[in-house]
Amino acid sequence: MTQPARSPQPVRRKGMRRERRREALWAHLFLAPWFVGLLVLVLGPLLMSLSVSFTDFDLLTAPRWTGLSNYTRMLHDETFWQSLKVTFVYVLVGVPLELAFALAVAVGLNRGLRGSDFYRSVLYLPSLFGGSVAVAVLWRQVFGGTGLVNQLLSVVGIHGPAWISTPSTALSTLIVLEVWQFGAPMVIFLAGLRQIPRVYYEAAAVDGASRWRTFRSVTMPLLSPIVFFNLVLRIIGSFQAFTPAYIISGGSGGPSDSTMFYTLYLYQEGFTNYRMGYASALAWVLVVIIAIFTGINFVAGRRWVHYEA
């Protein structure tokens, strides 16, 4: 009696499973360097800094456990509150101005001006050097007591102050520097504007909508995801700003701590005063602040961010 022929389906399934396991193995091998970097360079230092934040550690002796003392100390630290105030002003004033300026320039370039590619490249250049020492040194020369700004003002008979050395104007110069480096969000805005279908503008023109009404009712709703993206990135980046304040103020926080950014104070505590435990606590408070602002943006974004789908 002849045996029935064996179905090729089980053999085929077994071969497919073997092929999937082989592909998974190669995928994990290629991803292994990234996972090692994540554990060694990111997660490891994060957990280490969290544990150090509960200690008294001066980088020279063994850490001594102090519990929540580093966090409770912040409540009575005047420099801590001043650095928070300066950073909040920098973020809440500088980011909206930067995004508004970037959006205005992007709208202008999107009109198809002759040589727009050249203008876009030139306007993007400051962002390439954003946060660099060279730009901070340049800014210190521009807004110094005998800098370019005061030289231009002297032409019309105005004697300008030493903008960087005056407490009432020092932070404003850093905000202007932040706004001047609008190239990156501008390019993203421009890419978003060019993705908006022209049919919407044609319909608005047929309805007799003005330019402002078209911008408010067509451009902004369709561009809102890009605005949201730029807003989140710029807020996070502004909270982490360090180089301009360090270079322009010489690492001291400026006159009367008027440019004492949070990150600058963190650096002073950790690498100047060697209070690494307190600096780690400051770093984790900054993480919480950034997370709160990001969360607020995501919650509020449900009301004003509109996706085409």
pLDDT tens, residue by residue, 97-126: 999 999 999 998 888 777 777 888 888 887
In the predicted model, what is the mean pLDDT of residues 165-190?
90
CB 225 within 8 A of CB 195: no
Q: Is 124 exposed, middle or buried (0-12, 13-18, 19+ CB in 10 A)?
A: middle
pLDDT tens, residue by residue, 25-42: 888 899 899 889 888 888
In the predicted model, what is the mean pLDDT of residues 275-295?
95
CB atoms within 10 A of CB 218: 17
For the whole model, what pTM was predicted?
0.85
Secondary structure letter of residue 272 according to DSSP: I
Whether pLDDT at 14 is above 60? yes
Helix axes 220-239, 276-304, angle to 10 degrees: 170
Task: Give the amino acid at 15.
Answer: G
Q: List the Cα angle 148/149/151 in 5-degree steps.
A: 65
What's the CATH number for 90-256? 1.10.3720.10
pLDDT tens, residue by residue, 123-139: 888 777 766 677 777 88
